[in-house]
Structure 1
């Protein structure tokens, strides 16, 4: 005798396989992949070469573009029977309402997940050849995937409940606004939004990040599905309680969801050599050290044997200490692309600026003080001379002529006195040209 339950399960599997192959489900997977890949590729210089930036860009695209797209596709799938006027036939199907809804919504969710995983693989493959230390975050990828799966079931339920033909695009537009709005909030409530931009460069999520985020988004999806299709709709209280609890934990923790990544934060320095300053950067940027040394070679030669010249240059994000100069490393997409300095002139100019810039912002009347104009002209002249062909300044020609006319020994001695006062806001202390 045939087991009725087994027969129903076989029919469910057959129906699921058929739904996976036809309708809008396969097109949803393709649409998700293209929707994520196109904006990612257009911004490749900004993320390619850094795991944190890669996942931050992918997360933003997944939340703000992929989420509304999947919700609209699932919503359209949910209203299919009403558009075809076959909704009454569902009552004669031996499967329960929950099984019917799950079977109809699952293909959209699965194909959306496939589109996301394809994009994830392409992004990681494009980043891997240009990265240093660190690696991708499994927790971030899992939560992004969970978001797409969850919103697919929520969108499907909306499509079943609302019989308006335009509900799918309206849902997508409304969801886009809803996701973007919390980013303008100062409250920790903003961390409930899947589109919240997390600090992924140099930070990693805590170990329980993924379970709690999945409980939040997944709990809402299961609540909607059970409230719509379960025989005992009161069961929806259980996932709702899980979602509320997870949401409370997220809001209470806030920025504590992330901690420093030691693999990324530690310094990597160039090899020490007599007469050549060391360059120190964060581990992910270590592959840039040879190009940075080459770009700054002119600056180093002009400062050779100058008393008080920095023996070590440290990127500003690592926090230079006393005796170290700040190394103004440009951000990716703005001077750095993959593992290359695309604008050496800007890099050299900004680094030299760190040597000559004096922060006198605490003195509100600094620019009006006697001798301040002379000091500012002197600073510009030294910066221009150190940067050489990479200079972006237009110094006073009289000051520059005097500096160049000095004998080499006198110029080195003068530069030593100048560097000793580069943090001083007392004009009388700065040597004159």
Structure 2
């Protein structure tokens, strides 16, 4: 009797299960039964992997820092003006971030050559265009993200201090489109050139090519995406942004299709589009930018009896109360003087009868975050603008003694109005005599003096 036939309880033969497989035999592969679907392993997404690893994330961080660090060092110059903010963003993104993105994409393009895996790409079922797009898109997306972060930070820093207008989004779109375009061009250069130093050399060449047109007095300079524009005093025409996008994007598409497309003759289409857009930009030239309406719109202080009115452009409207406060002492000394100006206007405007010009101040020097950096200096320069005769040495006459007398008289009036000692003629006797005059006599003399403040004949200026 065998062991398997040994009787169990009640006399029934006992059965024992056999081992599923012997100790030395390989395990059998389970076969799915009818109706079951075998489990599939998830296919890794190459785009997602490139977005998380490699040089792409570092490119986005580098673009943000490359744009923000120069902007932050010049923050007093652009905070408070949407146009000035976008001007600084435009220059930093085109001249600094553009070559950086080109170098990063070029380094990405030469990756297969450095790893000696370029031959493996020929065995993949994907087309060359699909391979290029999969490898370049992460760099482009991260570069765009870095620029948008810098744009948001700069606009957030400007918003609390701005006086008029709105963010010029159209030029921001052209800067973003340029970064995407130069990314694809840089990648193709990296694929074609196998030299390891191609990326830094390409960045240096891009910087020179982008910055050189600013020194050329030709309409062709407007084709450069880094063309310097003063957006605080001018604005581009509405069609400028789409045409500039067509110009830069058309060149990038031509390079990309010419390198990677199966039918390379399709590159003629974006090339024709780029040529048409570039021709239109060159023909228009300087007329691409018009005067900023915010500069033409005047904002004036409230009318008060005995106090002159101050009018500035809409950009500087938040600084108007500080200007009025800084000039209050000067206005009080001119109160009751015959012929004293009743309105002081921004230097951007031509003064009319009864108007005088305010001191010229710019953000970053005279104005910082909507505050006058030196109110006393502002009052002194406004008094100087009031007295300035703007005469050449020939029109003042040949009598040097009389000319010097007029200069000392003008300086004494400026010092008295500003309440600040003169650095040109210290201890001036003219200033002493002006301060010692009775109030009524001083007002009468100042009236005669202001009547000749535009005269270039020394004999017409009253003696002090």
Superposition TM-score, scaled by structure 2 size: 0.88
Q: Could you list the per-position Cα deviations for residues 219-250 of structure 1 after superposition, in whole angstroms to 9, with x for gaps in the alignment?
A: 11001101111111111111111111111111
Residue equivalent to 1:71: 102
**1: CA distance, partners of 2:459 / 2:58:** 73
Residue equivalent to 1:223: 254
Residue equivalent to 2:170: 139
Match for 1:158 among 184, 189, 198? 189
**Does structure 2 conserve the Cα–Cα contact (< 8 Å) formed by 1:328 and 1:347?**
yes
**2: CA distance, partners of 1:167 / 1:67:** 16
How much is the aligned-residue C-alpha RMSD, in angstroms? 1.6
Residue equivalent to 1:267: 298
Residue equivalent to 1:123: 154
**2: CA distance, partners of 1:423 / 1:239:** 60
Q: Give 1:95 deviation, angstroms.
A: 1.1
C-alpha spacing 1:378/1:408, structure 2 compared with 1 (3 Å): same
**2: CA distance, partners of 1:263 / 1:53:** 13
C-alpha spacing 1:393/1:298, structure 2 compared with 1 (3 Å): farther
**2: CA distance, partners of 1:394 / 1:125:** 47
Question: 1:10-409 counterparts in 2 under 5 A?
Answer: 14-361=45-392, 364=394, 366=396, 368-370=398-400, 371-389=402-420, 393-395=424-426, 397-409=428-440
C-alpha spacing 1:34/1:367, structure 2 compared with 1 (3 Å): farther
After superposing the two structures, state which structure 1 stretch, 187-196 or 107-116, moved more.
187-196
**Does structure 2 conserve the Cα–Cα contact (< 8 Å) formed by 1:75 and 1:158?**
yes
C-alpha spacing 1:262/1:377, structure 2 compared with 1 (3 Å): same
The alignment partner of 1:313 has SS state of strand
The alignment partner of 1:27 has SS state of helix
**2: CA distance, partners of 1:243 / 1:80:** 30
The alignment partner of 1:336 has SS state of coil
Q: Give 1:310 deviation, angstroms.
A: 0.6
Q: Give 1:367 deviation, angstroms.
A: 6.6
**Does structure 1 conserve the Cα–Cα contact (< 8 Å) formed by 2:94 and 2:175?**
yes
Residue equivalent to 1:4: none
**2: CA distance, partners of 1:347 / 1:277:** 16
Structure 1 gap ranges (5+): 1-9
C-alpha spacing 1:392/1:232, structure 2 compared with 1 (3 Å): farther
Q: Give 1:328 deviation, angstroms.
A: 1.5
Q: Could you list the per-position Cα deviations for residues 15-36 of structure 1 after superposition, in whole angstroms to 9, with x for gaps in the alignment?
A: 2122111110010000000111
**1: CA distance, partners of 2:289 / 2:313:** 18
**2: CA distance, partners of 1:279 / 1:303:** 15
**1: CA distance, partners of 2:375 / 2:148:** 36
Superposition TM-score, scaled by structure 1 size: 0.94
C-alpha spacing 1:392/1:255, structure 2 compared with 1 (3 Å): farther
After superposing the two structures, state which structure 1 stretch, 247-256 or 78-87, moved more.
247-256
Q: Could you list the per-position Cα deviations for residues 321-358 of structure 1 after superposition, in whole angstroms to 9, with x for gaps in the alignment?
A: 23211012410110210110111122112111111110
The alignment partner of 1:92 has SS state of coil
The alignment partner of 1:321 has SS state of coil
Q: Could you list the per-position Cα deviations for residues 183-242 of structure 1 after superposition, in whole angstroms to 9, with x for gaps in the alignment?
A: 111111111111111120132221111110100110110011011111111111111111
The alignment of Structure 1 onto Structure 2 pairs a total of residues equal to: 422
The alignment partner of 2:228 has SS state of coil
After superposing the two structures, state which structure 1 stretch, 407-416 or 386-395, moved more.
386-395
After superposing the two structures, state which structure 1 stretch, 197-206 or 108-117, moved more.
197-206
**2: CA distance, partners of 1:318 / 1:105:** 51
**2: CA distance, partners of 1:58 / 1:392:** 40
Residue equivalent to 2:8: none
Q: Give 1:102 deviation, angstroms.
A: 1.3
Residue equivalent to 2:33: none
**Does structure 2 conserve the Cα–Cα contact (< 8 Å) formed by 1:380 and 1:395?**
no
Q: Give 1:365 deviation, angstroms.
A: 5.8
Q: Give 1:289 deviation, angstroms.
A: 0.9
**2: CA distance, partners of 1:72 / 1:31:** 12
Greater Rg, structure 1 or structure 2?
Answer: 2
More helix by share: 1
**2: CA distance, partners of 1:369 / 1:168:** 68
**2: CA distance, partners of 1:282 / 1:308:** 25
Q: Could you list the per-position Cα deviations for residues 28-53 of structure 1 after superposition, in whole angstroms to 9, with x for gaps in the alignment?
A: 00000011111110110000111111
**Does structure 2 conserve the Cα–Cα contact (< 8 Å) formed by 1:269 and 1:280?**
yes
Q: Give 1:264 deviation, angstroms.
A: 4.1
